[in-house]
Amino acid sequence: MSDMKELLRLLGELDDQLVSCMRCGMCQAVCPIYGQSGREADVARGKIALLEGLAHEMIKNPEGVQDKVTRCLLCGSCQANCPSGVKALDIFLKARVILTGYMGLPTVKKLIFRGMLTKPGLFNRLLGMASMFQGLFTSPVNDIIGSSCSKFLEPVLGERHLMLLAKTPLHKEVPSLDTPAGKSGLKVAFFPGCLADKIFPRVGHAVLKVLAHHGVGVYMPEGQACCGIPALSSGDRESYEKLVRANLAVFAEGKFDALVTPCATCTSTMKKIWPMMAEGMSQPEQVAIRELAAKVMDVNAFVVDKLGLTPPAPNADAVSVTVHDPCHLKKSLGVSAQPRAVLSMNPGYKVTEMAASDACCGCGGSFTLTHAGMSSKIGQQKRDNIKNTGAQVVAMGCPACMLQISDMLSRNGDRVSVKHPMEIYADSL
């Protein structure tokens, strides 16, 4: 009965948000999926029209509704360009929760989210074991990017080029930290995120190096969990809330001025989505979420806006680096100039802009698996824009985008390094 009441509450919330859409069609021009398919059902306006009859449609054809709602990258392009201020991301996430609440979570996702992801210790151990044996099933294909391919995993992952699990994740090399503020007078909590921990620990080390260089204290507690967005994107509110509570608990013990993360998706989730989806949680939890979310910052924004860096002039022989603007960084958080300023702090690099730097790369989390063909088409456009700059390096503030763009460049045989801006700055210190 309580589940049904929650479902009805969410449906009411959804109805209140849907009325603001004027059907102007501005979302068509910026939707990466519509740009490939030309289908009205793929654009935000079409999905919103479908959702207005969600209660009825769920009963009539729940699978069909779910297919249309999940055919979305959650990139936020439509929301960022909507003249009416329609909160499309909020609407689509809530719709997925409603549909999953009505239909139930598939067994495989239950195993992944509730059996593993919500148990950080077990999740870490399982991926640690996987990292030991992944070499048996993969072969290196691009030494510059560090990618591999796998005929064994092709039936599940397709013909993609993979970034393998790190031999030693960040949480093994740096289990925890609690250092005092130095010359900056500031102390931050550090949330690496799953990908910077398990696939790109070099990004986490770069962040810690930069913070130490500037005399910023770091609180990095053990037991950090996923930010919750993979579960929420699949409509699994139960797992999502469990992950939020786990992170609230570990960060409640620390005193810090800001919580920084090198992952655009984690930053956007904790700062924007946690408060938005807090309604069903207890009052003390809602207060704790709002207080923590107010401190969340992208690490590039923290370094530039709080530390006040002044970039030097680039060297005469500086390496050309182009910049991809992750959707969750620029469109959700308005962070775009700061990653470029961070890159400019290394005089060995000069920024060369690409066309449509803020166009989605086609990742969208599990979208790359469920809609692999569409994801690759969108990713290929991003790859072409990168290649056309002639840059030797492409930088971005999102490890998920790093996975997708590494895959696309590697599949095309390109020898272009994929890095986080913090890595490039750390190299100069």
- 281 and 318 housed in the same domain: no
H/E element holding 219? strand 217-220
- 91 and 68 housed in the same domain: yes
pLDDT of res. 13: 73
Last residue of a domain, one of 58, 81, 103: 103
- 314 and 301 housed in the same domain: no
How many independent structural domains does the chain possess? 3
Last residue of a domain, one of 54, 76, 103: 103
H/E element holding 261? strand 258-261
pLDDT of res. 175: 97
pLDDT of res. 267: 98
pLDDT in tens, 80-113: 999 999 998 888 898 899 889 889 999 999 999 9
Q: How distant, in Å, are the alpha carbons of 136, 261, 354, 374, 392 from that of 322?
A: 35, 22, 6, 24, 8
Is 174 a member of any domain? yes
pLDDT of res. 134: 95
CB atoms within 10 A of CB 425: 27
Amino acid (one-letter) located at 232: L
Query: How far is the C-alpha of 49 from the C-alpha of 107, rounded, in Å?
Result: 30
Sheet containing 162-163: which strands, arranged edge to edge?
139-142, 147-149, 162-163
What residues does 220 pair with on adjacent strands?
177
Pairing of strands 417-419, 147-149: unpaired
- 358 and 332 housed in the same domain: yes
Q: Could you tell me which residue, 163 or 19, shows the higher pLDDT?
A: 163
Is 203 a member of any domain? yes
**CATH code for the domain in which residue 333 is found:** 3.40.50
pLDDT of res. 231: 97
Last residue of a domain, one of 81, 103, 125: 103
Identify the CA nearest to 23 among candidates 1, 2, 3, 49: 49
Instruction: Write out the two tokens for 182.
Output: 């130095």
Rounded mean pLDDT, 327-332: 97
pLDDT in tens, 295-327: 999 999 999 999 988 899 999 999 999 999 999
Is 230 a member of any domain? yes
% pLDDT > 90, the chain? 80
Structural domain containing residue 187:
170-305
Q: Which residues of 84-93 are buried (b: 16+ CB within 10 A; e: fewer)?
A: eebbbbbbbb
Rounded mean pLDDT, 155-175: 93
pLDDT of res. 154: 84
Which residues have C-beta within 8 Å of that of residue 140, sequence separation ≥ 6? 146, 147, 148
- 235 and 342 housed in the same domain: no
Measured in residues, the chain has a length of 429
- 289 and 314 housed in the same domain: no
Is 375 a member of any domain? yes
H/E element holding 281? none
Which residues have C-beta within 8 Å of that of residue 11, sequence separation ≥ 6? 54, 55, 98
Identify the CA nearest to 243 among candidates 230, 256, 252, 255: 230
Which residues have C-beta within 8 Å of that of residue 274, sequence separation ≥ 6? 228, 244, 289, 292, 293
Among 40-54, 206-220, 331-345, 383-397, name the one with the lowest average pLDDT.
40-54
- 346 and 417 housed in the same domain: yes
Is 93 a member of any domain? yes
- 26 and 49 housed in the same domain: yes
* pLDDT confidence bin for 5, thresholds 50/70/90: low
As to burial, measured by CB atoms within 10 angstroms (0-12 exposed, 13-18 middle, 19+ buried), residue 302 is: buried
C-beta separation of 379 from 405 below 8 A = yes
Amino acid (one-letter) located at 298: D
pLDDT of res. 347: 97
3-state SS assignment for residue 218: strand
3-state SS assignment for residue 190: strand
**CATH code for the domain in which residue 38 is found:** 1.10.1060.10
Is 404 a member of any domain? yes
Q: Which residue has the tokens 């495989």?
A: 108
- 6 and 46 housed in the same domain: yes
C-beta separation of 7 from 52 below 8 A = no
pLDDT of res. 156: 78
pLDDT of res. 3: 61
pLDDT of res. 61: 84
178 pLDDT above the threshold of 90: yes
Rounded mean pLDDT, 63-67: 86
Identify the CA nearest to 10 among candidates 72, 116, 96, 70: 96
pLDDT of res. 1: 39
C-beta separation of 326 from 357 below 8 A = no
Cα 111 from chain centre: 22
% pLDDT > 70, the chain? 97
pLDDT of res. 189: 98
Query: How far is the C-alpha of 231 from the C-alpha of 241, rounded, in Å?
Result: 9
pLDDT in tens, 128-151: 999 999 999 999 999 999 999 998
4 pLDDT above the threshold of 70: no
- 186 and 270 housed in the same domain: yes
Phi, psi angles (nearest 5°) of residue 391: -70, 150
Is 391 a member of any domain? yes
pTM to 2 decimals? 0.95
- Tell me how many degrees the CA angle 166-321-372 measures, rounded to the nearest 5: 55
Sheet containing 296-298: which strands, arranged edge to edge?
177-178, 217-220, 187-190, 258-261, 296-298
- 289 and 336 housed in the same domain: no
Identify the CA nearest to 383 among candidates 161, 204, 198: 161
Query: How far is the C-alpha of 404 from the C-alpha of 397, rounded, in Å?
Result: 13
As to burial, measured by CB atoms within 10 angstroms (0-12 exposed, 13-18 middle, 19+ buried), residue 79 is: buried
Is 373 a member of any domain? yes
332 DSSP assignment: H
pLDDT of res. 7: 63
3-state SS assignment for residue 19: coil
Average pLDDT value over all residues in the chain? 93
- 262 and 385 housed in the same domain: no
